[in-house]
């Protein structure tokens, strides 16, 4: 009897869900039709580049997160709307995105997080290759890792930002979870672990405690580590859960990164000027005279204008001995009047100055 009642209750609820789904379907397609009209407006205005508008997407996400009454949490709502916009954009004009592959890397996860499932993602073999592919017009945008909360900067990305005329059009933050995986061999019998150098550094303590005598073999990416372990009956890998699933490996230990907050920040690179949203960041690179106090003096306009610097990183300039360039991230958009004035002053004082990009802060 109770079961019959339960079935009746369930059927009634499901009828209501079906009704709402019909309404949602209608609304989703009405929204998609509007996005197609937006495409016509862009075309009529003579736009022939990408139709992607990161500032508008950030605004939509912030708006729905702020208005979300629950019980869905705001991050989930933002994920849903990200996918919705991705699907709408694919109807306007599909977007192509090159990322540091192979499939199953954190960079792929970051690219999907930022562009959604509607974008056509292409794995390429290295960070320089991402830059080259975008510069050659073979992809609209590229996604590369730039810094990790445990391990610091990805120098190859910084050096290429300096060398290429591409712009930073966005940032993506991703919680990075590492796993010990294998095709079957348990840790006790493992002779080798394939691991990317950044990952190795992020799991240093775990490896010292759990695998002190296992040989560590360095590979070019987290996904390659999984691929190598698949071919090696005595080898394991540290890799992503996505790569383990993709390549048919077992997860032996999950979440083995030393810092439970371990996060990587990625940059979107391309040839697009992104408009202000009110919650933006600006990235630039500069150098100063090699004199005591000159860096302090160079950065004074920022402090004077109350602009907060979220990051500063020095790298050898690779021209001249002990010459350095400084990578800076600031709060605000380069078009915000206070930021624009401070940047003009910086540019005047610096011996070298390059604006890398000005873009919305990561929303999710």
Ligand X SMILES: O=C(O)C(=O)C[C@]1(C(=O)O)C=C[C@@H](O)C=C1
Q: Least CB distance from residue 49 to ligand X, whole Å?
A: 12
**92 near ligand X (CB under 6 A):** yes
- Out of 58, 78, 85, 139, name the contact with ligand X by CB under 6 A: 85
**38 near ligand X (CB under 6 A):** yes
Q: How far is CA 180 from CA 27, 135, 183, 207, 339, in A?
A: 44, 36, 11, 10, 45
Instruction: Give the helix, strand, coil percentages of the chain, each rounded to 5.
Output: 45, 25, 30
* Of 89 and 237, CB closest to ligand X: 89
CA 79 to chain centre: 14
**35 near ligand X (CB under 6 A):** yes
3-state DSSP call for residue 169?
Answer: strand
**89 near ligand X (CB under 6 A):** yes
Separation CA 142–CA 108 (nearest Å): 10
Is 105 noted as a catalytic residue in this protein?
no
* Of 59 and 258, CB closest to ligand X: 59
Q: What angle do CA 246, 248, 249 make, to 5 degrees?
A: 110
Which residues from 299-358 bind ligand X, rule CB under 6 A? none
- Out of 60, 177, 305, 340, name the contact with ligand X by CB under 6 A: 60
The answer for residues whose C-beta is within 8 angstroms of residue 192's C-beta and 6 or more apart is 214, 215, 216, 217, 232, 234, 235, 236
Query: Is residue 65 a contact partner of residue 74, using CB atoms and an 8 Å limit?
Result: yes
* Of 35 and 180, CB closest to ligand X: 35
Alpha helices per DSSP H over the chain: 2-44, 54-67, 74-92, 106-115, 127-135, 155-163, 197-202, 204-210, 222-230, 241-246, 294-304, 337-349
Is 352 noted as a catalytic residue in this protein?
no
Q: Least CB distance from residue 143 to ligand X, whole Å?
A: 16
Query: Is residue 359 a contact partner of residue 169, using CB atoms and an 8 Å limit?
Result: yes
Separation CA 187–CA 311 (nearest Å): 39
Tell me the torsion sign for CA atoms 116, 120, 126, 130: negative
**78 near ligand X (CB under 6 A):** no
Active-site entry in 133, 157, 240, 264: 264
Q: Least CB distance from residue 69 to ligand X, whole Å?
A: 21
Residue with tokens 């610091």: 152
- Out of 52, 131, 141, 247, name the contact with ligand X by CB under 6 A: 52
**168 near ligand X (CB under 6 A):** no
**57 near ligand X (CB under 6 A):** yes
**53 near ligand X (CB under 6 A):** yes
* Of 60 and 103, CB closest to ligand X: 60
**51 near ligand X (CB under 6 A):** yes
The residue at minimum Cβ distance from ligand X is 88
**88 near ligand X (CB under 6 A):** yes
User: What do you get for the CA distance between the two ends of the chain, in Å?
Assistant: 47
* Of 52 and 247, CB closest to ligand X: 52
Query: Is residue 348 a contact partner of residue 63, using CB atoms and an 8 Å limit?
Result: no
Which residues from 189-228 bind ligand X, rule CB under 6 A? none
* Of 89 and 302, CB closest to ligand X: 89
Active-site entry in 51, 115, 141, 266: 266
* Of 78 and 185, CB closest to ligand X: 78
Only one of the segments 46-54, 157-165, 204-212, 259-267 lies at the binding site for ligand X (rule: CB under 6 A); that segment is: 46-54
Q: Least CB distance from residue 33 to ligand X, whole Å?
A: 11
The answer for residues whose C-beta is within 8 angstroms of residue 57's C-beta and 6 or more apart is 82, 85, 360
| Interacting residues toward ligand X by CB under 6 A | 35, 38, 51-53, 56-57, 60, 85, 88-89, 92
List residues with catalytic annotation.
264, 266
């Amino acid at each position: 009897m109770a079961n019959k009642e339960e079935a009746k209750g369930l059927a009634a609820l499901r009828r209501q869900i079906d009704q709402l789904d019909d309404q949602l379907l209608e609304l989703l397609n009405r929204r998609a039709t509007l996005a197609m009209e937006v495409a016509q407006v862009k075309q009529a205005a003579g736009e022939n580049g990408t139709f992607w508008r990161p500032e508008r997407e950030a605004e939509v996400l912030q708006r729905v997160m702020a208005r979300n009454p629950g019980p869905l949490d705001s991050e989930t709502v933002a994920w849903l709307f990200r996918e919705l916009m991705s699907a709408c954009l694919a109807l306007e004009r599909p977007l192509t995105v090159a990322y540091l592959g192979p499939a199953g890397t954190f960079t792929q996860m970051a690219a999907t997080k930022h562009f959604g499932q509607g974008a056509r993602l292409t794995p390429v073999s290295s960070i320089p290759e991402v830059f080259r592919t975008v510069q050659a017009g073979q992809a609209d945008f590229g996604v590369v890792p730039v810094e990790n909360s445990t391990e610091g900067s990805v120098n190859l990305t910084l050096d290429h930002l300096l060398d290429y005329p591409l712009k930073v059009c966005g940032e993506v933050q991703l919680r990075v979870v590492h796993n010990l995986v294998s095709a079957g061999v348990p840790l006790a019998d493992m002779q080798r672990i394939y691991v990317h150098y950044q990952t190795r550094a992020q799991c240093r303590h775990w490896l010292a405690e759990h695998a002190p005598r296992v040989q560590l073999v360095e590979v070019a990416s987290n996904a390659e580590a999984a691929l190598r372990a698949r071919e090696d009956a005595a080898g394991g890998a540290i890799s992503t859960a996505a790569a383990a699933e993709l390549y048919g490996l077992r997860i032996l230990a999950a979440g083995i990164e030393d810092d439970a907050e371990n996060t990587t920040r990625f940059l979107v690179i391309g040839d697009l000027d992104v408009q202000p949203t009110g919650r933006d960041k600006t990235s630039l690179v500069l150098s100063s005279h090699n004199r005591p106090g000159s860096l302090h003096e160079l950065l004074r306009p920022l402090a004077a204008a109350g602009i907060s610097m979220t990051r500063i990183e020095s790298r050898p300039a690779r021209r001249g001995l002990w010459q350095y360039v400084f990578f800076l991230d600031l709060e605000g958009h380069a078009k915000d009047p206070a930021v624009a004035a401070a940047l003009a002053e910086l540019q005047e004082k610096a011996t070298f100055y390059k604006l890398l990009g000005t873009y919305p802060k990561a929303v999710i």
